[in-house]
Amino acid sequence: MKLVSEILDISTRGILINQQDSRSIGVREGDRALVTNLKTKETVTIQVAVTETLADVGTAKISLASAENLGIDAGDEIEIRAAPRPESIEFIRKKMDGGRLTREETSKIVSDMTGNILSPSEITAYITAAYINGMNMDEVEYLTREMVASGDKITFSKRPVVDKHSIGGVPGNKITLISVPIIAASGLLIPKTSSRAITGAGGTADLMEALAPVSFSSSEIKKMTEKAGGVIVWGGATNIAPADDMIIKYEYPLKIDARGQMLASIMAKKMAVGSDTCVIDIPVGAGTKVADEKEGQVLANELIELGRRLGIRVECAITYGGAPIGRNIGVNLEVAEALRILEGGEGATSLIQKSCAIAGIALEMTGKAAPNKGSDLALELIKNGKAHEKMMQIIDIQGGDSKIKSGDLMFGSFTFDIPSPCDGYIISVKNRDLIDIARLAGSPVEHGAGLHLHKKPGEQVKRGEPLLTIYAEKEWRLTQAIESARVSRPVLVEGMLLSRIPKQPME
Amino acid sequence: MKLVSEILDISTRGILINQQDSRSIGVREGDRALVTNLKTKETVTIQVAVTETLADVGTAKISLASAENLGIDAGDEIEIRAAPRPESIEFIRKKMDGGRLTREETSKIVSDMTGNILSPSEITAYITAAYINGMNMDEVEYLTREMVASGDKITFSKRPVVDKHSIGGVPGNKITLISVPIIAASGLLIPKTSSRAITGAGGTADLMEALAPVSFSSSEIKKMTEKAGGVIVWGGATNIAPADDMIIKYEYPLKIDARGQMLASIMAKKMAVGSDTCVIDIPVGAGTKVADEKEGQVLANELIELGRRLGIRVECAITYGGAPIGRNIGVNLEVAEALRILEGGEGATSLIQKSCAIAGIALEMTGKAAPNKGSDLALELIKNGKAHEKMMQIIDIQGGDSKIKSGDLMFGSFTFDIPSPCDGYIISVKNRDLIDIARLAGSPVEHGAGLHLHKKPGEQVKRGEPLLTIYAEKEWRLTQAIESARVSRPVLVEGMLLSRIPKQPME
């Protein structure tokens, strides 16, 4: 049937037609239609929405994305007819019914997903089914390969190409800013793509952005890495494994992180940037994604096996994730803490040790360091200034100011000290509550916002001494962060009153 | 944060904001925001979409539905802030993780679904999880009760109130047009709500619409039923169990019909119209929803148990669904076939017998007929003209022409006979192919379109005699229906060439 088009200025793809027309065409809401631009004769498949009032009979409202795809302007005539159901829906049904997907079936699902043939609901059904019924290693491998195939792939002529990854969930984990320049300073290539904070106080891409631009194409990443040895860029700006980004987007509202998809997600990014050697940091403990060391070992073995199938050597480091890494949380606070270590080798022991341990594994895997000597070499590359020099080179090549010093990073001028309510030793700190306080103070959007932890577990404190200092760029944000800290009490001191009935805010 | 609103003329609910604003607010695509109309101070929860280009920083594009909900006009200022995740998502996660939902959890999911708090993707995740992990009878009961609570409920002062339902999947199943007037003619109340065709050639509501309007509110349904004894209306026009309609809408793209949701769907509609006595027809056989009699018995027991929990007496009839009921498929063709039987008791034996059997069970359950005498009484009510008189009264009260005769219904003027390719007996007819032919001919949108089956299984045919006649209102539709019939060969004659290599269309 012929309809006259109107353009709808929205981001989702779709075509909105009157109920009466939908019945004549023989499509229902959620069906797909073949829409032909009658000027160009080009045809695309678009999902149909049906309305009784919002589109007149004889007209079709086409979303901007779909209209651009078809080269349609307002007033143009289109031909619309029912399209067959995409085959990929049968494969989603197969997964819902407990089946195992083949490479070809996975390929069809992924290409229909990135081609906007599948709707958000259908993609969610796939993700939900894979979450409930699980994926075996064959299926995970297929998904990883299809994620890689969905976007750009970088190939370096020089080898080895190193990558690192952290499973996440630990606040203040700025080790990438230290370990990447160490690895690059040793003469290895490391094209590191990172994410922004989703529910955290700052992802590595958010931190790096305080120093230099982070949005680059895959060919720019390749060129910069070949020149400087390493980069630290935002993965979301590239067209690397876009199918992975889509899956993460649809997992987000359900707060799921299905094992199979997580494995595929990690390894697809590594494979697509051309990495052949990979170190993966698996923090375990309360508040992290991995409950304990045993579960961490299972995950490590899965990552190693998946890497083997994909031609990537993987080693994993199971680390303690029950407390923040270093003492600062928030963009400029974390960046300053990392730069200070690179500048002179001074700073929180937990941060220096972990950064050197992770970098050291890469140095050992690639033969840059002898077995068990990787961490020592990493520390040496910090102490002799090579890692700092490399970091400045990376900042420079990404278009940042390579003269920057840790002291140049500004912290919010509104500050507040949370004092210890009593004498005693620190029992524990609550990662999630610290993150929430930093976010309420404005992190990661406001770079000066965050917190500094004066005391970590095992340390002694006297009544009235500050447990943590909150920084904010806006007074109202400081107020709400203080309120949150008073209620959640993120740092527990032995001997502290844990609750009082009736309940009162902490003194 | 404050934003200036623009109105987006689309049917889905949502608010589209710039990525930069989304980061300041602390929401991501798919999150919910609390949006306050700064004129009225009214606040509603709306799902957020994020764009880099389609909304300027400082502006928010609000969908028409959400804007009307908030009383917002273009240019109005709104306040927007991050909303907590709805609790119902935790319950969906519970179902994804194999848990059993309580009444309260089910209630929260259903109310957030109908209240547009849950997104289509989240509703799909719930449906997918319930499909994969199944629901026990407690969960089905809770879902049924919540579906009823989601909309209007009719209460009659007179009892019993009868209802009937057919599980569907059988073409030409116009028995409601015969059994409802029989039941009403016996003095019982039967407020029958029906559906339109989804993938069939005509639902009961589509058929009835050829005789009278079918869209009424629940209070109109009550009044009309009290006056005429019965009605045959479209369930989709009422506000009866709207949660059920939503679930069906989201099941549709995945072509699933999960058992628990199907049970709840059937019984919620019955309970909401105030029915206390219910006859359910379960057709079994190839092409129906129920594979065999054994599976039909399991389903029957589940329906009876669910009815018991809800205070509805249920009896089920397992019927043969392997061939069409009667000989006509398509709106006017089916209506004419049903009216002809009511007018004089003449017509296809399968149709008369099945209609009387179903009506007869209701007559026995309510004491209108002695045990095993229901079918006889039903046939008597056809023969003595009472059922016809009642049908005309129902047509009249719904606003149709009560003088209508079966001969008044026009069939498409473009017709074609599909001849038998050889002498022999009919082995089988293929339901799905017959439906496809009728749909291609224009049914149910074009009332005159459809087909008449000259021969049914077991009947003898001579070469060249017509197996079926196709009717269409438009010549091109007739052509495509003939093409389909030639390829699918829906009526198989013993001795017929089943395939020929290389493949050729049927002579």
Rg (CA), chain B: 26
> A277 - beta bridge partners?
A162, A313
Strand order in the sheet with A328-329: A328-329, A450-453, A466-472, A414-419
Q: Is the pLDDT of residue A442 over 80?
A: yes
- Cα distance between residue B292 and residue B318, in whole Å: 10
Residue B361 is encoded by which pair of tokens? 């069970």
CB count, 10 Å around CB of A383?
12
Average pLDDT over residues B81-97: 93
- Cα distance between residue B111 and residue B102, in whole Å: 14
Q: Are B78 and B2 in contact, with CB atoms under 8 Å apart?
A: yes
Confidence (pLDDT) at B502: 65
Q: Is the pLDDT of residue B41 over 80?
A: yes
Q: How many residues does chain A have?
A: 507
Mode of pairing for the β-strands spanning A43-51 and A15-18: parallel
Greater model confidence, A199 or B279 = B279
The H-or-E segment that residue A393 falls in is helix A386-397
Torsion-angle region of A142 (φ positive above 0: left; ψ -120 to 50: alpha; else: beta): alpha
- Cα distance between residue B487 and residue B481, in whole Å: 10
Q: How confident is the model at residue B498 (pLDDT cuts 50, 70, 90)?
A: low
Confidence (pLDDT) at B501: 64
Identify the weakest region by mean pLDDT among A150-159, A285-294, A390-399, B381-390. A285-294
Confidence (pLDDT) at A503: 56
Minimum distance, in Å, between the CA of residue A50 and any CA atom of chain B: 8
A121 touches chain B (CB under 8 A): yes
Chain B residues close to A129, C-beta within 8 Å: 128, 132
- Cα distance between residue A209 and residue B447, in whole Å: 64
Q: Is the pLDDT of residue B465 over 80?
A: yes
- Cα distance between residue A277 and residue A312, in whole Å: 6
b/e code B250-285 from CB counts within 10 Å (16+ = b): bbbbbebbbebbbbbbbbbbbbbbbbbbbbbbbbbb
DSSP state for residue B406 in the 8-state scheme: G
Could you read off the pLDDT of B140-164 as tens digits, one per residue? Answer: 999 999 999 999 999 999 999 999 9
A301 touches chain B (CB under 8 A): no
Confidence (pLDDT) at A463: 92
> A60 - beta bridge partners?
A5, A17
- Cα distance between residue A138 and residue A150, in whole Å: 18
Q: Is the pLDDT of residue B173 over 90?
A: no
B445 touches chain A (CB under 8 A): yes
Could you read off the pLDDT of A445-496 as tens digits, one per residue? Answer: 899 999 999 998 888 999 999 999 999 999 999 999 999 999 888 998 886 6
Confidence (pLDDT) at A506: 46
Q: Is the pLDDT of residue B499 over 80?
A: no
User: Three-state SS string across A164-212, please?
Assistant: EEECCCCCCCCCHHHHHHHHHHCCCEEEEEECCCCCCCCCHHHHHHCCC
> A232 - beta bridge partners?
A192
Residue B27 is encoded by which pair of tokens? 């929401």
Average pLDDT over residues A490-506: 67
Chain B residues close to A29, C-beta within 8 Å: 249, 252
Q: Using CB atoms and an 8 Å cut-off, which of residues 189-208 of chain B contact chain A?
A: 198
CB count, 10 Å around CB of A201?
29
* Given B56, B152, B257, B417, the catalytic residue: B257
Q: Is the pLDDT of residue A438 over 90?
A: yes
- Cα distance between residue B142 and residue B306, in whole Å: 10
Q: Using CB atoms and an 8 Å cut-off, which of residues 40-69 of chain A contact chain B?
A: 49, 51, 54, 61, 64
Q: What percent of chain A has pLDDT over 70?
A: 97
Instruction: For chain A, give the mean pLDDT.
Output: 91
Q: Are B8 and A6 in contact, with CB atoms under 8 Å apart?
A: no
Nearest CA in chain A to B91: A254
Minimum distance, in Å, between the CA of residue A211 and any CA atom of chain B: 19
B47, B52, B254: which to substitute to probe chain A, counting the most A Cβ within 10 Å? B254
Respond yes or no: is residue B138 known to be catalytic.
Answer: no
Average pLDDT over residues A73-93: 91
- Cα distance between residue B180 and residue B192, in whole Å: 8
DSSP assignment of B323-385: S-SSSEESHHHHHHHHHHHHHHS-S-HHHHHHHHHHHHHHHHHTTSS-TT-HHHHHHHHHHTS
Do B125 and A129 make contact, defined as CB atoms within 8 angstroms? no
Q: How confident is the model at residue A215 (pLDDT cuts 50, 70, 90)?
A: very high
Confidence (pLDDT) at A400: 97
CB count, 10 Å around CB of B136?
10
Q: Using CB atoms and an 8 Å cut-off, which of residues 256-285 of chain A contact chain B?
A: 256
SS3 assignment, position B168: coil
DSSP state for residue A161 in the 8-state scheme: B
A259-272 vs A120-133: helix axis angle to the nearest 10?
110
Residue B424 is encoded by which pair of tokens? 């022999």
In B281-330, which residue ranges form alpha helices assigned H by DSSP?
293-310
Q: If you search the block for the tokens 């080269």, which residue do you land on?
A: A71
Q: Which among B29, B51, B249 is the nearest to A249, CB-wise?
A: B29
- Cα distance between residue A235 and residue A238, in whole Å: 6
Confidence (pLDDT) at A498: 56
A74 touches chain B (CB under 8 A): no
DSSP state for residue B290 in the 8-state scheme: B
Q: Using CB atoms and an 8 Å cut-off, which of residues 322-381 of chain A contact chain B?
A: none
Give the contacts of B106 (CB within 8 A, at least 6 positions apart).
Answer: B91, B139, B142, B143, B146
Q: Is the pLDDT of residue A237 over 90?
A: no
What pTM was computed for the model? 0.86
A-B C-beta contacts closer than 8 Å = 126
DSSP assignment of B174-238: -THHHHHHHHHHTT-BEEEEE---SSSS--HHHHHTTTS-----HHHHHHHHHHHSEEEEEGGGS
- Cα distance between residue A289 and residue A278, in whole Å: 20
Confidence (pLDDT) at A507: 40
Burial (CB count <10 Å: 0-12, 13-18, 19+), residue B461: buried
Give the rounded distance of the alpha carbon of B203 from its chain centre: 7
Do B122 and A253 make contact, defined as CB atoms within 8 angstroms? yes
The H-or-E segment that residue B137 falls in is helix B137-149
Q: Give the up-direction half-sphere exposure of residue B371: CA atoms within 13 A in the CB hemisphere.
A: 0
In Å, the largest CA–CA distance within chain B is: 80
In A19-136, which residue ranges form alpha helices assigned H by DSSP?
19-25, 64-70, 87-96, 103-114, 120-133
Give the contacts of B430 (CB within 8 A, at least 6 positions apart).
Answer: B287, B488, B490, B491, B492
Amino acid present at B114: T
B131 touches chain A (CB under 8 A): yes
A88 touches chain B (CB under 8 A): no
- Cα distance between residue B292 and residue B284, in whole Å: 5
% helix, strand, coil for chain B, step of 5: 45, 20, 35
Question: Residue A139 — φ and ψ, nearest 5°?
Answer: -65, -40
Strand order in the sheet with B162-166: B162-166, B277-284, B313-320
Q: Is the pLDDT of residue A504 over 80?
A: no
Could you read off the pLDDT of B362-373 as tens digits, one per residue? Answer: 999 999 999 999
- Cα distance between residue B385 and residue A268, in whole Å: 73
B11, B29, B87, B436: which to substitute to probe chain A, counting the most A Cβ within 10 Å? B11
SS3 assignment, position B155: coil
CB count, 10 Å around CB of B401?
12
Chain B residues close to A10, C-beta within 8 Å: 8, 10, 16, 49, 54, 61
> B418 - beta bridge partners?
B468
Q: Which among A127, A133, A253 is the nearest to B119, CB-wise?
A: A253
Give the rounded distance of the alpha carbon of A254 from its chain centre: 16
- Cα distance between residue B15 and residue B22, in whole Å: 11
SS3 assignment, position B60: strand
b/e code A56-77 from CB counts within 10 Å (16+ = b): beebbbbbbbbbebbebeeebe
Q: What percent of chain B has pLDDT over 70?
A: 97
